Amino acid sequence: MSENIDHLKFPIGRFNAPEEITLVHTKGWIEVIESFPERLNTATAELSEEELEKQYRPNGWTIKQVVHHCADSHMNSFVRFKLALTEDTPTIKPYHENLWAQLSDYKTPIASSIKILEGLHKRWVLLLENLNEADLEKQFIHPENNELISLKKNIGIYAWHCNHHLAHILIAKNN
């Protein structure tokens, strides 16, 4: 049973960074980030309010919560990129995503979060496409585990994040 729950939590597996991250990796990941708002919109466009309340696993988030979470998470990531580009190895601010998912704005229609993602991803992709090799090596510190994360690795993490939550939505649609 726990194996099945783990598969539902991580339907595409956990993020596993390549030993050496190349420009080919980052280019592909940026394409995933660029296409995400359209893929998300396509996956959710015809869903009723009742369908948006479906969960991808027992005690998991609803489709609606996943969409709102993506907007929040990607806004935070965009800011983290800017901090790493403009400060010397900043310590980023984590947030309690499960508590955010309980706030009243997560009960609103998903259209506002999709619009946020559309605009945010346009700016984010423009920023990412203009990073040079030195920029890609810049890092921030994640205080939850004191890990140094390079921007090139974080591009991969967020490409994975897009696909990870899109898979959750597709699973929930079929439940």
Q: What is the pLDDT of residues 99-126, one digit of tens each?
A: 999 999 999 999 999 999 999 999 999 9
Q: What is the pLDDT of residues 43-102, one digit of tens each?
A: 999 999 999 999 999 999 999 999 999 999 999 999 999 999 999 999 999 999 999 999
Which architecture does CATH list for 25-173?
Up-down Bundle (1.20)
Closest CA to 101 of 72, 133, 137, 125: 72
pLDDT of residue 1: 45
pTM for this prediction: 0.96
pLDDT of residue 6: 85
CA distances from residue 16 to 87, 103, 148 in whole angstroms, order as listed = 27, 31, 16
